[in-house]
Amino acid sequence: MQEIRIPVGISSCLLGEEVRFDGGHKRDNYIIRTLGQFFHFVPFCPEVAIGLGTPRQSLRLIKIDGEVRVRGNKDHDLDVTDALRTTGRVQAERHPELCGYILKSKSPSCGMERVTLYEGWTNDRPPEKKGVGQFAEVFMSARPELPCEEEGRLGDPVLRDNFITRVFTLHRWRRMVHEGLSAAALLDFHTRHKLLILAHHPQTYTALGRLLANLRQVDLELLAADYLLTLMRGLKHIATRGKNANVLQHLAGYLRDELDGGDREELARVIDDYREGRVPLIVPITLLRHHFRRHPHPYVAGQVYLEPHPPELMLRNGV
């Protein structure tokens, strides 16, 4: 366990706090027991924050005259849309230290996507799962650099790896800035993350390279802000097996003159096995790390790609 845990916002009910409309909670043991070893959770319930009691009537996401509103399910005159949206802006400004946010799925306040959206109050048109919680929508818009995910989607190994990779990347960025932003520090950060970026989105890799080409000609803080937003948007793209395999082959190239024919063939076969879905990512990564321990390379040694998050999380065992 690391000494300083990463600050991550979270819907309070996921930590077991009894703040839901029915007076219950949605405690998530994976979040608490596993991610809690590395994350310092900052809980928040927007519905309680705007003054709704517990228990309370449930809320409904409803489109009225083309506008999405959050209304009481029983008391149709209860409209908390503006209050939730204001709270989203306030919460975004109040916690600049956050490196991620875990939201409650399906919630008309906190859901990121596929929230049940009703068309008016009548039942002649079935609701569709295409809404976004109004707190979440405003919060995410105000903090586009911040990794956000729903607890339900964290059950998907690929989405879980993607979210946690982004959280740890933002944490490394914040630590770099805290230690002193400079052109040298920014270039070092970029160099260490090159292969990670390439595995997620080659276009972002190219865009960031162009951005840093003007490093001496622009305001450093403005450039750093552009860099961070471009980086975090790029990392939202999934690191597919194909893109990962290309990066693995790139790493294998640094061993071309160090390995004998048998070792090279084995490494190529393992990378191909990964590309074809026969083994998880941890298998070729482990083999590469073994070879680089025997044949160190300074550039590779600094690459975050080989260990973007704590191995105890075992995220690469499932992707």
pLDDT tens digits for range 124-137? 678 899 999 999 99
Quick check: 41 pLDDT over 60? yes
Beta strands in the chain (DSSP E): 6-11, 39-44, 59-64, 67-72, 101-103, 115-119, 128-131, 148-150
pLDDT at 316 over 60: yes
- pLDDT per residue over 247-293, tens digit each? 999 999 999 999 999 999 999 999 999 999 999 999 999 999 999 99
According to DSSP, the β-strands at 128-131 and 115-119 are antiparallel
Mean pLDDT of 86-99: 98
CB 153 within 8 A of CB 102: no
Helices (H), 22-72: 29, 46-49
pLDDT at position 248, please? Answer: 98
With a pLDDT cut of 70, the percent of the chain lying above it is 98
Separation of alpha carbons 56 and 76, rounded Å: 14
pLDDT at res. 120? 83
Structure token pair of residue 40: 């310092």
Q: What is the pLDDT of residues 58-73, one digit of tens each?
A: 999 999 988 999 999 9
Mean per-residue pLDDT over the chain, rounded: 95
Q: Residue 85 is inside which H or E element, if any?
A: helix 81-94
Chain CA centroid to CA 294, Å = 34
The residues with which 60 forms a beta bridge, in sequence order, are 71
Q: pLDDT tens across 203-212, in order?
A: 999 999 999 9
Average pLDDT in the 204-225 region? 92
Q: Give pLDDT, residue 3.
A: 60
Q: Name the maximum alpha-carbon separation found in the chain.
A: 75
Contact of 2 with 125, CB cutoff 8 Å: no
- Whether this prediction's pTM lies above 0.85 is answered by yes
pLDDT score for 123:
62
Provide mean pLDDT across the span 282-305.
98
pLDDT at 2 over 60: no
Q: Are 263 and 291 contacting, i.e. CB atoms less than 8 angstroms apart?
A: yes
3-state secondary structure of 261: helix
In the 3-class helix/strand/coil scheme, how is 148-168 assigned residue by residue? EEECCHHHCHHHHHHHHHHHH
Does the structure show a pLDDT above 80 at 1?
no
Q: At residue 216, does pLDDT exceed 90?
A: no
Tokens of 42: 């900052």
Decide if 98 contacts 8 (C-beta within 8 A).
yes
Q: Which helix (H) or strand (E) holds 234?
A: helix 220-235
Task: Enter the DSSP assignment of 130.
Answer: E
Categorize the per-residue pLDDT at 143 as very low, low, confident or very high, splitting at 50, 70 and 90.
very high
Q: Is there a contact between 71 and 59 (Cβ–Cβ < 8 Å)?
A: yes
* Other C-beta atoms lying within 10 Å of the C-beta of residue 3: 4
Q: Tell me the backbone φ, ψ of residue 51, rounded to 5 degrees.
A: 105, 5
